[in-house]
Structures are given as structure tokens and as C-alpha cells.
């Protein structure tokens, strides 16, 4: 039987317990503001999203700026270095079209002397004009188009008036012989035949001059088949060397990697180096801005359609007028 003292203590404890507030779990959850719980989850999701965006931007810029190098200036490719790419669109089943799209690099397809002869040929003809107002100066021997400030001139009447016969220039025969050599290497690498030279095929000289027109902005991504229309294959023959004759100016293929972000595959120009590729969306590309020096190259377009073919230059007149811009004009002061 409990003592009086124990009974009194129990009674006191019961009375204090009755006076104390009771926090039932359901009541607490019911009266807890819901937005506190939701805000925590919302902010977590926002931070996750922002983190993903920052990571994607970093990855895109990292790959785009650094990328991977298909052809280094320090390497030598005695045999074609071929990189296969899936064709962006189906190719017709004819001998001219490859069923394996891609790109390749090959060094020393012409001699050092022939490279010098081509550079001299282009430079001698470009001297009749002040060149383009922006960084690039273009010379197309087939149409006669030569950059003249913010426009183009037909260089053949100017050369004739100055009694300059480029057909007698040592580099002119090298130009025609080199075209044949480039076409042979292209057909061999892609196992195709029946190709035709197409427009525009041209020399380019690029410096670090500030771009003045949209045509001077050569560093934007583009696809040759879209830009030029007739191109099925593109070849570039470099006449100057990266980090020796110029800085910047690397050729950049814009690819996709496993992150689905863009990354870049670089070709570093070397004198006598040939870089060829199928001209479709699978080889979207650009050229880095030249930051110093002078970058020189020769661009060839090849087509499978005979109707889009052009002849080799004659040396005294245009062999095609389709590549000459509509705004062509004769410079009165320079003629």
C-alpha cells in the first residue's frame, strides 16, 4: 500500500503534467508552414540546375578552346591520317560519292620549292591591289576575282594593262600540277573517282587586321556544302606554318563528344600539308582568328556534278564568271 508521501508526490507530478502544453506529432505537422519544406526542395533543385548549366558552359568552352589535335604542327604524316565520320545525309551509290565520310591530313604532297612558287604566284598577283579592308584577301585565278578593299576586282584586265603575263610565271604551271596532285590524293583516300574541280577555288591570305564587313569574319562556324552549294569535297593546301608564320588561325572541326557538348578537333597548318574532308554537316568547321603574322592557304572545291565543274585557269582571262561577285568593279586609281 503506497505511503502518503508517495501519493502526494504522484499527485503533484500529475498536476504539473496536466498543466504542461502537449505537442502531438500530427498537430505539429498540421500547423507547420508547408512553404518551409517546399522552399528547401525548390532551392535545392535550383542549385542543381545552375550547377548543371555552369558545368555545361565550362565543358563547351573548355573543349572549344582546347579540343583535341588531329594534326599537330610538330607531327609529320607521311601517310594519310584518316578520321571516319558518319555522313550527315545518305550518299548516292555512284563512284564519285564516298559511303564513308570523314577527313584526312597528309604532309609534303608537294615540294618545298613548289610551296614557295605558289606563295610567290599569289603574292605577286595580290600586289596589284591593296587587298581586303579586313583580315582576309582572296584571289581566285579561275574567275579573276581579287579582294579590293571592301569589294572585288577582276584582276585580268589590270594585269593586261600592266603587261603582266601570269601564264609565264614560274608558279602558274605549279598551280595546275598541284591541283592534279591534290585530286589524286583525295580520290585515293576516299576510294572515289570522277571528281571535278568546282568554284570557288582560291588563295587566301589572312592577317590580324580588324574585320570591317561580315565577309571579313571568317571565324564563324559553317558548312561548305551550304556555303558554296557545289562542294562535295573540300581540300586545303597550306602555304604557311602555324606558330612560325602566324599565330592563331588553326583550322577547327566542330564535333560532338559523349557529353553532347561541342568540342573541337584542330588541324595546325604546316607548309605543304593537305587537309581534305567531305563537305557536309558532318564536317562543320571554322578558322580561329589570326592574332599575328600572315596565314596563307589554297582552297579547292570538288564536285560530283559535271555541270558544276570549272576549268583550270588560262592565265590571261577568266575561265568562269560564276564565282565573281555581283558587285565587282574596276578600281580606276589602281588599274
Strands 295-303 and 136-139: unpaired
Cα gap 57→81, rounded to integer Å: 31
Options 205, 225, 250, 295, the catalytic residue: 295
> Residue 75 corresponds to which cell in the numbers above?
607531327
- The SS3 assignment for 207 reads coil
Cα gap 136→203, rounded to integer Å: 10
**Cis omega before residue 38 (within 30°)?**
no
Residue 295 falls in the annotated catalytic set: yes
DSSP 219: T
DSSP 210: P
- 233 touches 195 (CB < 8 A): yes
Beta bridge partners of 146: 139, 153
Residue closest to 295 by CA, chosen among 68, 71, 138: 138
3-state secondary structure 127-155: CCCCEECCCEEEECCCCCEEEEECEEEEH
- The SS3 assignment for 78 reads coil
Strands 131-132 and 145-149: parallel
DSSP strands (E only) in 25-95: 68-71, 81-84
Cα gap 189→79, rounded to integer Å: 10
Residues 6+ apart with CB under 8 A from 230: 198, 199, 301, 303, 305, 308
Task: Enumerate the active-site residues.
Answer: 295
Amino acid at each position: 500500500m503506497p505511503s502518503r508521501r508517495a501519493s502526494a508526490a504522484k499527485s503533484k507530478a500529475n498536476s504539473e503534467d496536466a498543466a504542461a502544453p502537449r505537442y502531438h506529432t500530427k498537430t505539429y505537422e498540421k500547423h507547420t508552414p508547408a512553404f518551409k519544406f517546399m522552399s528547401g526542395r525548390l532551392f535545392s533543385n535550383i542549385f542543381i540546375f545552375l550547377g548543371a548549366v555552369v558545368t555545361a558552359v565550362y565543358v563547351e568552352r573548355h573543349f572549344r578552346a582546347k579540343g583535341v589535335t588531329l594534326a599537330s604542327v610538330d607531327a609529320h604524316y607521311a601517310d594519310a591520317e584518316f578520321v571516319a565520320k558518319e555522313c550527315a545525309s545518305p550518299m548516292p551509290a555512284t563512284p564519285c560519292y564516298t559511303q564513308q565520310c570523314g577527313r584526312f591530313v597528309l604532309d609534303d604532297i608537294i615540294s618545298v620549292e613548289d610551296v614557295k612558287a605558289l606563295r610567290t604566284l599569289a603574292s605577286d598577283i595580290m600586289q596589284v591591289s591593296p587587298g581586303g579592308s579586313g583580315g582576309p584577301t582572296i584571289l581566285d585565278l579561275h574567275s579573276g576575282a581579287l579582294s579590293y578593299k571592301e569589294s572585288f576586282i577582276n584582276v585580268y584586265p589590270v594585269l593586261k594593262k600592266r603587261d603582266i603575263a601570269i601564264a609565264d610565271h614560274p608558279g602558274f604551271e605549279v598551280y595546275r600540277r598541284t591541283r592534279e596532285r591534290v585530286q589524286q590524293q583525295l580520290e585515293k583516300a576516299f576510294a572515289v573517282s570522277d571528281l571535278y574541280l568546282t568554284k570557288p577555288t582560291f588563295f587566301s591570305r589572312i592577317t590580324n587586321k580588324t574585320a570591317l564587313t561580315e565577309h571579313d569574319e571568317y571565324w564563324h562556324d559553317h558548312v561548305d556544302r551550304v556555303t558554296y552549294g557545289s562542294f562535295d569535297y573540300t581540300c586545303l593546301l597550306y602555304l604557311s606554318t602555324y606558330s612560325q608564320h602566324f599565330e592563331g588561325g588553326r583550322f577547327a572541326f566542330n564535333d560532338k563528344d559523349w557529353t553532347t557538348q561541342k568540342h573541337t578537333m584542330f588541324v595546325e597548318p604546316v607548309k605543304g600539308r593537305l587537309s581534305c574532308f567531305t563537305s557536309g554537316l558532318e564536317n562543320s568547321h571554322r578558322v580561329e582568328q589570326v592574332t599575328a603574322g600572315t596565314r596563307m592557304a589554297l582552297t579547292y572545291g570538288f564536285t560530283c556534278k559535271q555541270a558544276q565543274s570549272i576549268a583550270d585557269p588560262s592565265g590571261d582571262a577568266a575561265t568562269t564568271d560564276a564565282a565573281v561577285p555581283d558587285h565587282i568593279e574596276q578600281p580606276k586609281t589602281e588599274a
